[in-house]
Amino acid sequence: MRNNMTENTEKKQKVVTRFAPSPTGFMHVGNVRTALYAWLLARKYNGTFILRIEDTDKKREVEGSLEHILKSLKWLGIEWDEGPDIGGPNAPYIQSQRLDIYKKYANNLIEKGLAYADDTTEEELDVFRKKAEEDKIAFLFRDHRPENPPTWDGSQSLRFKVPKLKRYTWTDAVWGELSAGPEALDDFILIKSDGYPTYNFAHIIDDILMGVTHVMRGQEFIASTPKYLSVYEALGMTPPIYATTPPIMGEGGNKKLGKRDGAKDVLEYVKEGYLPETMMNFLALLGWNPGGEKEVFTKDDLISLFSLEKMQRSGAQFGDDKLDWLNKEHMKMMSEDVRNAEIHKWLLKNPEISKFEKLNDEKLMPKIYPIIFDHISKWSDIDTMVGAGELSYYFQSPQLDKEKLVWKDGNITDTVKHLKWVIDTLQNAPENNFSSPDAIKSLIFDYATENGRGQVLWPTRFALSGKEKSPDPFTLIYILGKEESTARLANAVKTLS
């Protein structure tokens, strides 16, 4: 029953959602998931999604954060209908540029007798707090409300005057009916002495003026909801529908994932080679599930299926393994040409590989791309392969360790004999025997079985790659081609001689 009212409301009125981050540093997955859910809901109902920047805490603001926010959202594929960079009917969309608007509504509350100037010093506040602590009661400023406050001239803080101590009950689209009593109400600050509004006041005014119908938010805001509702009531306005998202838990599931607990900058995932489609899919499933076994969703799928009714209450587990798996699934959905082009682009960025002329060999590279793709789940895994020496042997003849060319209980004489046999077989085989690894296997496998597979196949593979771990020799011969393969095998014979 918790969402029937919400779903009906969505159908009757235009849905307007917003994402309102503070420019205080990088964007982590928790921030972006809130934006994603708000965006999906707006797109599901052909509504409006607003990007608003809440920059009223100037002490915590980090230079470049606004640009970072825009870049992060755009990479993920979240576009906004109104915002600081594109404008809109409710501009400006940066709170520090809306100070006159907040003062207007502050004065409205003063006229109603619901706001007053507060010239209490920090020293006096400390005394009040210590007294509450000694009495073992919660500190509430309303218990120290001045009888004759000064006229507010902007140099003092402005506090909200709770009009009535009462119990508030509201319906959360995810949690259902919630309530809190007078203990949650207090005379909180509306506008600070520096002239900037607090979050508790500014976001309410902005949501009202921008027509926001649904607010996605974390569980930490539930406790403050009665304060918000009291302000809406004081202004004679209807509050939006709240949808409280579940927390994202770190590895192990014991603690909420945050910046201090290893949550990464969203743009780090770009550097690591994750697809934006993957991140959208992955984040959507961290607290929401449409039901069924399917886990791989496109953007259009998510928009079509998204519903507040399917959001969960319990914490969602963040896991890199799941992210990697999901990324590989989305990579599989790419066309082969696009995928190969991306692999090639990543190879070109790596100085250990980009130096090889063979990187542009139109016969060689189409054979290598599938091998690389089989061993990666994100593009940066290519760098890992390069670092482990798993790709260089495709582009240059390896340096060979004489001792490693000989299989376990084998000897040099037999190893040379086997390598020469493989060379002769390859040189005399018609071209159609090099059309696939299986065709090459048909040339060699019977001989290897008769003479000991390890005795034949190990030195053949090691001669071609110079590595103890590499693709099988048939695949290597197929990729390298007859001429290069026989040359490397001949070099191995020379090394053993």
User: What pLDDT, on a 0 to 100 scale, did the predictor assign at position 1?
Assistant: 38
User: What pLDDT, on a 0 to 100 scale, did the predictor assign at position 3?
Assistant: 45
80-132 tens-digit pLDDT: 999 999 999 999 999 999 999 999 999 999 999 999 999 999 999 999 999 99
469-490 tens-digit pLDDT: 999 999 999 999 999 999 999 9
The overall average pLDDT reported for the chain is 94
**Residue 263 or 438, more confident:** 438
Long-range contacts of 491-496 (CB under 8 A, 24+ apart): 491/397, 491/400, 491/463, 492/400, 492/405, 492/419, 492/459, 492/462, 492/463, 493/416, 493/419, 493/420, 493/423, 495/400, 495/402, 495/405, 496/402, 496/405, 496/406, 496/412, 496/415, 496/416, 496/419
Is residue 61 scored above 60 in pLDDT?
Answer: yes
Is residue 2 scored above 80 in pLDDT?
Answer: no
User: What pLDDT, on a 0 to 100 scale, did the predictor assign at position 381?
Assistant: 98
User: What pLDDT, on a 0 to 100 scale, did the predictor assign at position 317?
Assistant: 85
User: What pLDDT, on a 0 to 100 scale, did the predictor assign at position 250?
Assistant: 77
Q: What percent of the chain has pLDDT over 70?
A: 96
- Give the H/E segment covering residue 118: strand 115-118
Helix, strand, coil abundance in the chain, percent, nearest 5:
50, 10, 40
User: What pLDDT, on a 0 to 100 scale, did the predictor assign at position 81?
Assistant: 98
3-state secondary structure (DSSP) of residue 158? strand
246-286 tens-digit pLDDT: 999 876 666 777 665 567 899 999 999 999 999 999 999 99
Is residue 138 scored above 80 in pLDDT?
Answer: yes
Count the helices and strands in the chain (H runs, E runs): 19, 11
Closest of 364, 369, 390 to residue 470, by C-alpha = 390
Lowest mean pLDDT among 6-15, 311-320, 358-367: 6-15
User: What pLDDT, on a 0 to 100 scale, did the predictor assign at position 270?
Assistant: 95
Q: Which residues, including other chains, have CB under 8 Å from residue 40's CB and lie 6 or more apart?
A: 284, 302, 303, 306
Q: Is the dihedral of CA 430, 435, 437, 438 positive or negative?
A: negative
Cβ-based burial of 459 (10 A; exposed 0-12, middle 13-18, buried ≥19): buried
Q: How far is CA 131 from the centre of its chain?
A: 45
User: What pLDDT, on a 0 to 100 scale, did the predictor assign at position 257?
Assistant: 72
What's the pTM? 0.90
Single-letter code of the amino acid located at 292: G
Mean local confidence (pLDDT), 65-82: 97
Is residue 12 scored above 70 in pLDDT?
Answer: no
Is residue 237 scored above 80 in pLDDT?
Answer: yes
Q: Where would I find the H helices in 359-452?
A: 365-374, 381-387, 412-428, 437-451
User: What pLDDT, on a 0 to 100 scale, did the predictor assign at position 282?
Assistant: 97
Q: What 8-state DSSP symbol labels residue 94?
A: B
CA distances from 468 to 48, 403, 485 (A): 58, 12, 17
User: What pLDDT, on a 0 to 100 scale, did the predictor assign at position 364?
Assistant: 95
User: What pLDDT, on a 0 to 100 scale, did the predictor assign at position 422?
Assistant: 98
User: What pLDDT, on a 0 to 100 scale, did the predictor assign at position 316?
Assistant: 87
321-359 tens-digit pLDDT: 999 999 999 999 999 999 999 999 999 999 999 999 999
Provide the angle, in degrees to the nearest 10, between the axes of the packed helices 199-209 and 225-235: 50
Mean local confidence (pLDDT), 289-298: 94
Q: Which residues, including other chains, have CB under 8 Å from residue 454's CB and lie 6 or more apart?
A: 407, 408, 410
